[in-house]
Chain A
């Protein structure tokens, strides 16, 4: 790495980039608290602050239901990933068994399957099962993903075998070793996995928008998108200012939870994003 003292120009470019990346977020958050009309008439200044946009938005779209549904999916899907992915990763990292390479190769192969391609096949399956508009449709497909297994296998492979053998000598069963020896050691990896899973499930859009079309099961992102479609659908005669106020309020409230977690747990996030990037 190059270690000459960074010059003023370097800081200036970095600061400019930071503004480009952060300003749209800041503009959306701050504008959402302005009186609706001012978003259009004076987009740059911030004067009076109000919760009017939020009140109108809550009255207009079932965003509370969206949050609750996302939370439920996140909880169940997250729990499944956090339990089954390290378990399978452990088997692939620390056991020798017939067909292991073939089975692990299958896991790797599924990594290459583009998400979008499974959408129509899965939708067909869901309608055959009568699962359209159900929580199981939102949760089960992809609930134990290949990437998490691959990642956990890499993480667990780094544990010294002596540690696992010591557990065996102490009389722990196979699952006991996983729970009492392996899991505590890979805690940082688990934290990054949790953060990445949260981000993926929270922001997931393509599958939820296909699998669910009644308001009672819509996830947060789907609720948001219906609001946006109402705006563009009713352009003529719509009161722009009011609708925009609602859009920005909804967008802001949706991005806040993850941004807060991100700022608090940035190291785990960046580790998770780096590891997760191989998923593609």
Chain B
């Protein structure tokens, strides 16, 4: 009996030990450091809210948030539309080769991001890349995919979209498959057109999955790091320095106090954004 009472605590203890050591402790330490000036060596000096003020008045900080916001606009709406389209096409129970399509769509999600980022460097090279080669074949001029501030963001957004849209399809497909088939049959009997069925049955019923998708992809876009780190190093002219890469740059600059402050500002932003998207996308009957 005694062991029964103790055992659940023993079973969960390892997680809490790891979490205390590598979650809570570093967070408290970093919170303290965010009020200090420290360059990775020597003594740290208390500077109050200077690090936060520095960031909030720094054009580079706002530019990094702006870059991430543009990425969000380029990625999330398109992914929701494409994901829903793909899911609707796959949901048909009489579709042949469904397993093959599912595997094909998910394959990019399984590939290592760094490896595919390298492929992007090669494929989107202005002088020798495959994409410009194809454009030239079609009689079109070269595009400076990775070396112009106009195209650098769309090119990275394309990498993100290519890698994760199959994932979006699978998420939305799971939502769609929870819709009972009888609902559509009833609607068809009532004379509802296919388009009408889509807008009045499919969309409201997958709204929850869509909200979920928007939240996790918003978090992912604002933490985007490996794509610009590998493909563009944040350039050209800082046009792909995302919020995530900007945060990382404090490490290379050994400006860890500012980096810690930046971490907490980013947490606030990410929490705020997910709260907003959850609220905006909540099904109407659940308001209040």
Binding site for B on A (CB under 8 A): 1-6, 10, 13-14, 17-18, 20-22, 24-25, 27-28, 39-40, 43-44, 84-85, 87-88, 90-92, 95, 97, 100, 103, 106-107, 110, 112-125, 127-128, 140-144, 146, 149, 173-175, 178, 199, 202-203, 205-206, 209-210, 220-221, 224-225, 227-229, 231-232, 240, 244, 247-248, 250-252, 254-255, 258-259, 262-263, 266, 269-270, 273-274, 277-278, 280
Contacts and interface: CB of A to CB of B under 8 A. Distances in A.
Contact of A25 (B23, B108, B244, B247): B108
B11 A21 contact: no
Contacts of A146: 15, 19
Interface in B1-49: 3-5, 7-9, 11-12, 14-16, 18-19, 21-23, 25-27, 29-30, 33, 40
Interface stretch (B73-81, B148-156, B177-185, B279-287): B177-185
B75 to A, nearest CB: 15
A91 B19 CA distance: 17
A21 B123 contact: no
A140 B177 contact: no
B110 A231 contact: no
Main secondary structure of the interface of A (DSSP, over half): helix
Given A149-B15, A247-B118, A248-B119, A21 B107 contact: yes
6 contacts: A14-B97, A125-B29, A142-B22, A174-B4, A225-B230, A228-B117
B95 to A, nearest CB: 5
A272 B119 CA distance: 26
Given A203-B112, A206-B226, A18 B167 contact: no
Contacts of B16: 103, 106
B170 interface: yes
Nearest to B182: A1
Given A124-B30, A206-B225, A92 B12 contact: yes
Q: Looking at A85, A100, A116, A205, which has the most chain B CB atoms within 10 Å of its CB?
A: A116
Contact of A259 (B111, B123, B251): B111
Given A91-B12, A228-B121, A262-B106, A280 B219 contact: yes
Contacts of B7: 91, 95, 174-175
Contacts, number: 297
Given A2-B92, A269-B106, A250 B170 contact: no
A88 B92 contact: no
Interface string B115-149: 11111011101001010010000000000000000
A244 B122 CA distance: 7
A112 B167 CA distance: 20
Nearest to A125: B26
Nearest to A22: B104
B61 interface: no
B27 A174 contact: no
Contacts of B94: 3-6
Interface string B149-193: 000000000000010011100110010110111001000000000
A116 B266 contact: yes
B106 A273 contact: yes
Contacts of A44: 130, 133
B90 interface: yes
Given A114-B267, A115-B223, A263 B103 contact: yes
Contacts of B89: 6, 10, 13-14
A28 B19 contact: no
B72 interface: no
Contacts of B96: 6
A113 B23 contact: yes
Given A3-B94, A116-B266, A228-B114, A247 B248 contact: no
